[in-house]
Structure 1
Amino acid sequence: MSVQFIEQNGQKQYAVMPVADYEKLLEKAEMLGDITAYDQALTSEDELVPAEIVNRLLNGENKIKVWREHRGLTQAGLAESCKMAQASIAQMESGKRTGTIAALKKIAETLDVDLDDLV
């Protein structure tokens, strides 16, 4: 890499280099940023959510259903854990019922998500 320095009053003010070298530096800086982000994601205590789940949520699928299936629970299993009727879960998943705050809190706790993830 060849660099030419331009000085003003005896101090280096600018560095001039070939465009190809500059582009390589940009590419390496971007790659370093990607590696750093990846390393931070691996060491984070936050749950990493698979793209399939994120896409389903973004596509407007029922949030309770998506998280329930992601956690490997049936409607009956979720209902039992929440001390609710399976029909109540089914109605919430179909949109026929919204559920009380208390019910949604129980569901969120069972699914290990924030209440905000369900509403």
Structure 2
Amino acid sequence: MNVQVIERDGEPEYAVLPWADYQALLQAAGRTEGAQPSQPNTDAAKPLSELSALREGKGLSRDELARAVGISPHYLGMIESGERQPDAAILRALAWVLGISGWEA
């Protein structure tokens, strides 16, 4: 069995092993529930096309949200209209300010 141990502060915290080995361990323990790899929760992520509605739902103007995220209101407008695709840092900042999950790319 090929196991990678991840430590924090010198103490083992996680063990990472190949999927087949994990399945064999579950089978040996007589457990089969939870044996499928988890699928990403796409329902939690709001489409970027809903950005202006999310912003308005939070009671924020375009200027306020742009200032909170650290971009220009003009650039935020281009993101809202679909003209520009924000990078991962901007997506994380938008998600943080709007209090949503799923954009932490």
Q: TM-score, normalised by structure 1?
A: 0.45
The residue number in structure 2 matching 1:106 is 93
The count of residues paired between Structure 1 and Structure 2 equals 60
The structure whose Rg is larger is 1
Moved segments of 4+, more than 2 Å: none
Provide the alpha-carbon RMSD of the alignment. 2.3
Stretches of structure 1 that go unaligned for 5 or more consecutive residues are 1-56
Stretches of structure 2 that go unaligned for 5 or more consecutive residues are 1-45
Superimposed CA distance per residue, residues 28-61 of structure 1 (whole angstroms, 9 cap, x where no aligned partner): xxxxxxxxxxxxxxxxxxxxxxxxxxxxx7xx88
Q: How does 1:18-29 map to 2 (within 5 A)?
A: none
Q: TM-score, normalised by structure 2?
A: 0.51
Matched, 1:82 2:69: yes
Contact 1:82 1:110 in 2 (8 A): yes
Per residue, is there more helix in 1 or in 2? 1
Give the residue type in structure 1 aligned to 2:88.
I
